[in-house]
Structure 1
Amino acid sequence: MSKIRFLTNADMPDVIRLFQKIFQKSSKQPSPALKAYLQHLYIGLAGETAPASKVLLNEQGAICGFIGVHYFDYLHGTQLLKAAMVGSLMVDNHEQDPLGGAKLMRSLLDDNYDLILTETASETTAAMWKKLNAVQFTNYSLDWLRIISPLKFAVETAGSKLGLLKLFLPVAGFIDQRKRNAMPHNSLRWSGTPQNWTAGQTLQCQQIDMAEFTALYHQFSADFASRPQWQEQQFTARLQDALQKPDYGQPFMVKAATKTGKTVGLFLYHLRNGGTARVLELLSHPKAASQTIDALIHHAAQNGAVAIRGRTQPLMMEAMLGKRIAFTHLASTMVWAKDPAMLANFETGRAQLNGIAGEHWSCLSGHPL
């Protein structure tokens, strides 16, 4: 009979090999970078507390499954909740134990959590969570895309599979630039944005350092009725990892302010020159959401982005309407709550989730481990 227990440091070699086999689909030895990062992610970040992740053992006592979990406090009104963010879920030899993944997920219900969260649930995993009475929240489960330079974006997208197409980038860039220069300054089109987009310059953008980003992040987060209550070292560790995504390019931490100097928006994105900007974090004052989104798009465009994409934040979605932004569903955000009343702020979008409060801050995305 299979057995589930908490992860220990001694388990990490087996967990790393399992990760290499299932997620990287390789029988080769894991790279030193992958070994070091998974050790850091699942053991090192636990600090003085015990790891929250779990392993599944087969009848012979060998590790055949794993579920990656990070614990943090979550403030719900004045009530402090114990929350778990669930990431990697993997089971080897699924045929021998087809319920292995479900067993790992169900075991979390015995760990005295008030909330269990995930933002990367596949259709299969989402169905498993629903059987455990977790709720799928559509407004947190969408990815958005705004095209800036359509021909270069098309070449970039197709070129990832057909490398020779990248030879057409200079020509595509020349055509895009001419078109953008000819567009009216306030034009809104699905096919791109103007070179000198007036609406995107309503706010003044300035790149900032980690200390200022951290202070502003906490300031904007206070507007959410439910939100993570980070320990200082928890947030710092997440932000440090979030900046290390070389596959996505250079990180940009930016504040957006009015002409009087009041900061009303904050965003963090990565951009590789001539590529798609990937937004990890987007926050704003409630009355400045539209201007902040415009400022983000314009800032990325001025730095050479061909498009910009990110994960939805419900309170920003209404402001996105009419901006020629497309939405798609790639993975689901699921929330399990011990008390259904705790879900109220998620239902209205007034709970902070995704971004640094989600899963994509880690180097498991955007880093060649």
Structure 2
Amino acid sequence: MTEIRSLAEADIPVVAKLFQKIFRKSDKEPSAELIAYLQRLYIRFAGETVPASKVLLDKNGNVSGFLGVNYFDYFCEATNKTLRTAIVSTLMVEDHQHNPLGGVKLMRSLQKDGYDLMITETASEVAAAIWKKLDAVQLTNYSLDWLRIIRPLSFMTEIAGSKLKPLAMLQPFARKFDDRKRNAMHGKSLRWSATPSDWPTAQQLTCTDIDATEFAELYQHYAQSFSCRPQWNTEQLLNRLEDAVQKPEYGKAYMVKAGTKSGKNLGLFLYHLESGKTARVLEFFSDPKAASQMIDTLIHHAASNGAVAIRGRTQPDLMEAMLGKRIAFTHLCSTMVWAQDPALLPPFVEGKALLNGLAGEFWNRLYANPL
């Protein structure tokens, strides 16, 4: 007979070993860094006084499954209520094929903890099926990844080099070829395979590097445009940013605000980039009237820092502005939401809720670092 209980600090080394086995396909002992980070993320994270995560115990009392949870408040204007929200970031069950109901049991247990909302940003096909059994909704417009190729030959070399390391040696030659092609392109020419070096609309805004404090202030400003949004205190938001920038596997973190030369702010973005590789966007906000120009600015900023391509997660309010930008869309994992009261779902279904990024899971270090 299986049992489910709340995560205890003593469970962390076992959970780390399970994480290593299931997600990293490795029987090696988990690193001290991974154990320490799981303690920080699921036991002592800012503003979370009680661990919300769950463990599944087998008939012998051993940990055989885990549900990683962080929580915060969402404010919804339609109901003028603050909603207690669980962000589910890690769902794993050992020997899932012989225990197919383990994940469902963990999720049903979380349902009973009194949350108004449960959200995930990274549901695989298997996890999405579990969420749907609980009457959760799959949010299509939040569940796509977008990709814009900047240096095509370098992009292909990056992909090939990740599979066969000797091919990475071709990167300098690919870079020279791509830059020659970009320099030869007309400034207003947009192709699926590249962006021009001289791109007038992408250079009209002034970009300024900012620190975490200013980024947090601007984040809260832009969050006000969403009818359903996280209601974080400063400590919670800065703790997420602290983790978000520490992704050396993705490269340097760029926190940037963009605006007119007269000083009017029109948006901000946060992405990671190791020069010569693909930039990964975590957050992107824009004044609605400047969305098209801000997207161009983001792509050009990454290109200027050596990106071969740039990718990110879709936001419904930006989808229209992305059309015509030679951006490709694909589905890798799903954003799901479950509500205790179905009347709370419309802002999420209609794309009026602030989700993904810092209000999701990809900010935490488990989604980049080989801790």
* Range into which the TM-score falls when normalised by the shorter chain: over 0.9
1:333 is matched with which residue?
335
Q: Provide, for residues 217-238 of structure 1, a one-character-per-residue CA deviation record: whole Å limited to 9, x for no partner.
A: 1000111000000122111111
Describe the shift of the 1:46–1:203 C-alpha distance in structure 2 as closer, same or farther (beyond 3 A): closer
Q: In structure 1, what residue type is equivalent to 2:87?
A: M
Identify which of 206, 215, 218 aligns with 1:216: 218
- CA separation in 2, counterparts of 1:41 and 1:231? 17
- CA separation in 2, counterparts of 1:92 and 1:180? 49
Unmatched tracts of structure 1, length 5 or more:
none
Unmatched tracts of structure 2, length 5 or more:
none
Superposed displacement of residue 97, structure 1:
2.5
Identify which of 144, 147, 168 aligns with 1:145: 147
- CA separation in 1, counterparts of 2:32 and 2:10? 17
Structure 2 residue 284 is the aligned partner of structure 1 residue 255: no
1:191 is matched with which residue?
193
1:86 is matched with which residue?
88
**Residues 55 and 66, structure 2, Cα contact 8 Å, conserved in 1:** yes
Q: Provide, for residues 245-275 of structure 1, a one-character-per-residue CA deviation record: whole Å limited to 9, x for no partner.
A: 0000000000010122111111000000111
**Percent same amino acid at aligned positions?**
63
2:45 is matched with which residue?
45
Q: In structure 1, what residue type is equivalent to 2:220?
A: H
Q: In structure 2, what residue type is equivalent to 1:339?
A: D
Superposed displacement of residue 95, structure 1:
4.3
The alignment covers a number of residue pairs equal to 369
Runs of 4+ aligned residues of structure 1 deviating over 4 Å after TM superposition are: none
- CA separation in 2, counterparts of 1:348 and 1:341? 13
Superposed displacement of residue 330, structure 1:
0.1
1:60 is matched with which residue?
60
Superposed displacement of residue 94, structure 1:
2.6
Identify which of 349, 361, 364 aligns with 1:362: 364
SS at match of 1:160: helix
**Residues 47 and 236, structure 2, Cα contact 8 Å, conserved in 1:** no
Describe the shift of the 1:124–1:295 C-alpha distance in structure 2 as closer, same or farther (beyond 3 A): same
Root-mean-square deviation (CA, aligned residues, Å) is 1.1
**Residues 206 and 256, structure 1, Cα contact 8 Å, conserved in 2:** yes
Superposed displacement of residue 114, structure 1:
0.7
SS at match of 2:167: helix
Superposed displacement of residue 47, structure 1:
5.1
Structure 2 residue 245 is the aligned partner of structure 1 residue 282: no
- CA separation in 2, counterparts of 1:365 and 1:20? 13
Q: Provide, for residues 195-227 of structure 1, a one-character-per-residue CA deviation record: whole Å limited to 9, x for no partner.
A: 111111121111111111111010001110000
SS at match of 1:144: strand
Superposed displacement of residue 98, structure 1:
2.2
1:262-281 aligned at under 5 Å gives the runs 262-281=264-283
Structure 2 residue 20 is the aligned partner of structure 1 residue 20: yes
Q: In structure 2, what residue type is equivalent to 1:54?
A: K
2:227 is matched with which residue?
225
Q: In structure 2, what residue type is equivalent to 1:284?
A: S
Moved more, 25-34 or 135-144: 25-34
SS at match of 1:170: helix
- CA separation in 1, counterparts of 2:208 and 2:109? 46
- CA separation in 1, counterparts of 2:111 and 2:46? 20
Describe the shift of the 1:53–1:46 C-alpha distance in structure 2 as closer, same or farther (beyond 3 A): farther
SS at match of 2:50: coil
**Residues 46 and 239, structure 2, Cα contact 8 Å, conserved in 1:** no
SS at match of 1:80: strand
Superposed displacement of residue 242, structure 1:
0.1
Q: Provide, for residues 316-360 of structure 1, a one-character-per-residue CA deviation record: whole Å limited to 9, x for no partner.
A: 111000000000000000000111121111122110000111100
Q: Provide, for residues 114-163 of structure 1, a one-character-per-residue CA deviation record: whole Å limited to 9, x for no partner.
A: 11000111111111111110000110000000000101011011110011
**Residues 4 and 54, structure 1, Cα contact 8 Å, conserved in 2:** yes
- CA separation in 2, counterparts of 1:258 and 1:278? 25
Q: In structure 1, what residue type is equivalent to 2:18?
A: L
Moved more, 284-293 or 295-304: 284-293
Q: In structure 2, what residue type is equivalent to 1:125?
A: A
**Residues 246 and 368, structure 1, Cα contact 8 Å, conserved in 2:** no
Superposed displacement of residue 287, structure 1:
1.2
TM-score, scaled relative to structure 1: 0.98
- CA separation in 1, counterparts of 2:363 and 2:94? 26
Identify which of 135, 138, 147 aligns with 1:136: 138
